[in-house]
Amino acid sequence: MAPPTPKLIVPIDLRKKPWEQKLPLHNRWHPDIPSVATVRTGQLFRIEMVDWTGGAIKDDNSASDIKYLDLSTVHYLSGPIRVVDDEGIAAKPGDLLAVEICNLGPLPGDEWGFTAIFDRENGGGFLTDHFPCATKAIWYFEGIYAYSPHIPGVRFPGITHPGIIGTAPSMELLNIWNKRERELEENGLNSLKLCEVLHSRPLANLPSTKGCLLGQIPEGTNEWEKTANEAARTIPGRENGGNCDIKNLSRGSKIYLPVFVEGANFSTGDMHFSQGDGEVSFCGAIEMSGFLELKCEIIRGGMKEYLTPMGPTPLHVNPIFEIGPVEPRFSEWLVFEGISVDETGRQHYLDASVAYKRAVLNAIDYLSKFGYSKEQVYLLLSCCPCEGRISGIVDAPNAVATLAIPTAIFDQDIRPKANKLPIGPRLVRNPDIPRCTYDGNLPITQNPGASGI
């Protein structure tokens, strides 16, 4: 009978740099990046991938690699993969590409990952005005479980998933992206909320030749120069899928991706051992290298059949996802709430981002009462299997967002108690977490009494 072993179509050698791999990686979206392999529908195949930084972050006790990481180089993706049907006919623009995740995991021999807070001047994170310093936690894996020497007393099964999976954009779609993001970058300050303006995170990540890697397009050529100047950054999720960071996209899930170019040319990367909803610290999942075992199906004409444009062109669509049936079965959740009133006491109108920020800050402050530093909890909530929900979005002026944390990940009972035993010395768990000093200035809006560092 036929050998059922999945065929390895993108191998990774961890001793080599992203640009030295046998099938070179890429870190931009562009229709002209050539596919590196072809798969047939129904075929089970295996793709390996580096971690999103391509090995720049080390398993050590220093956060300086985080502080000085060159963000122009991320994320390193495997692919593009061209998909053809049983008769060899390629996926076509207008089709849907259904990708099933049959299996996935860390690369054998590389069973560790990292979670980090980026420096305020280098990308920052959701709470960068509270946590401006570069910080890092290393995680080790024991099969399905992760534990960290930097955040003792927690251990949890990972819901492992790829942070990024997406098809190549057409030139038309790429132009739409570049235009709208450039407009935000240029005009954003006018309409932005004050609290956002105050920090120095970039409003958008526009194309740049710096750090650009374009797979098999040779660097230095005219083609490379042109492509690099057009190619979209991989940071945000967009119409092609991309950096969606859907934390439950694990074994048994199916992703229905719109096809914009001949062959679909999908790429994937940014493997997460585990992530919390929101991935709040930015480099917030447990980032690692890894592998995917996939199977594809083409739904001919599926874009028109199943997707409806949500904007001025037929390209303004989004992928659809089917979540797999295998997950940890948590029994108890502790839920923190936030409303759209910010830390200065200012009322915002039905702003779910502000509400979620407050919910996360509430959870950080609460858990820091159990022997952790706030930075430890911020890192933990970025990567543990916690759920971030939009609970109410209609009751003006307050959006209500909630953050639900499974209590079983802690080795102590973290629920509020009427007759609480005194918190003993064993619960002081503030180890020397890797951290780099922040050299900038804290924003004036911060309220040190409430959630200062």
The reply on whether position 320 binds a copy of itself by CB under 8 A is yes
Q: Which position among 13, 34, 89, 202 is part of the footprint of a copy of itself (CB under 8 A)?
A: 202
Q: Which position among 37, 38, 55, 102 is part of the footprint of a copy of itself (CB under 8 A)?
A: 102
Pattern of binders to a copy of itself over 225-264, x per CB under 8 A? ----------xxxxx---xxxxx---xx---x--------
Q: What is the 3-state secondary structure (H, E, C) of 207-245?
A: CCCCCCCECCCCCCCHHHHHHHHHCECCCCEECCEEECC
Q: How far is the CB of 350 from a copy of itself (least distance, A)?
A: 6
Minimum CB distance to a copy of itself smaller for 389 or for 429: 389
Q: Which position among 101, 214, 379, 436 is part of the footprint of a copy of itself (CB under 8 A)?
A: 101
Minimum CB distance to a copy of itself smaller for 219 or for 395: 395
Q: How far is the CB of 57 from a copy of itself (least distance, A)?
A: 13
Length reported for the chain: 453
Strands 96-105 and 290-299, bridge-based pairing: antiparallel
Closest CA to 216 of 30, 91, 13: 30
**Do 75 and 269 form a contact (C-beta atoms < 8 A)?**
yes
SS3 (DSSP) at 450: helix
Minimum CB distance to a copy of itself smaller for 3 or for 220: 3
SS3 (DSSP) at 420: coil
Pattern of binders to a copy of itself over 36-55, x per CB under 8 A? --------x-----------
SS3 (DSSP) at 406: strand
Q: How far is CA 130 from CA 144, 202, 278, 395, 443, in A?
A: 32, 17, 17, 28, 9
State the Cα angle at 198 between 439 and 275, rounded to 5°: 80
Minimum CB distance to a copy of itself smaller for 178 or for 227: 178
Tokens representing 148 are 């960290």
Residues near a copy of itself (CB under 8 A), total: 155
- Stretch touching a copy of itself by CB under 8 A, among 25-33, 207-215, 308-316, 429-437: 308-316
The reply on whether position 23 binds a copy of itself by CB under 8 A is no
The reply on whether position 221 binds a copy of itself by CB under 8 A is no
Tokens representing 214 are 């374009």
SS3 (DSSP) at 74: coil
Closest CA to 47 of 64, 30, 35: 35
Pattern of binders to a copy of itself over 126-155, x per CB under 8 A? x-----------x-xxxxxx---x------
- Stretch touching a copy of itself by CB under 8 A, among 17-25, 47-55, 215-223, 303-311: 303-311
Minimum CB distance to a copy of itself smaller for 172 or for 223: 172
The reply on whether position 172 binds a copy of itself by CB under 8 A is no
Q: Is the dihedral of CA 437, 438, 439, 441 positive or negative?
A: negative
**Do 96 and 256 form a contact (C-beta atoms < 8 A)?**
yes
Question: Which residues partner with 412 through β-bridges?
Answer: none
Q: Find where tokens 């009978």 sit.
A: 1
Q: How far is the CB of 18 from a copy of itself (least distance, A)?
A: 20
Which residues, numbered 376-415, are part of the site for a copy of itself (CB under 8 A)?
Answer: 387-402, 404, 408, 415
Which residues, numbered 260-299, are part of the site for a copy of itself (CB under 8 A)?
Answer: 277-282, 284, 293, 295, 297-299
The reply on whether position 309 binds a copy of itself by CB under 8 A is yes
Tokens representing 213 are 């890697």
Report the distance separating Cα 201 and Cα 131, nearest Å. Answer: 13
Q: How far is the CB of 404 from a copy of itself (least distance, A)?
A: 7
Tokens representing 338 are 């936030």
Q: How far apart are the first and last CA of the chain?
A: 63
Which residues, numbered 324-363, are part of the site for a copy of itself (CB under 8 A)?
Answer: 324-339, 341-353, 356, 358-359, 361-362
- Stretch touching a copy of itself by CB under 8 A, among 28-36, 107-115, 167-175, 431-439: 107-115
**Do 188 and 182 form a contact (C-beta atoms < 8 A)?**
no
Q: How far is the CB of 408 from a copy of itself (least distance, A)?
A: 6
Minimum CB distance to a copy of itself smaller for 141 or for 224: 141
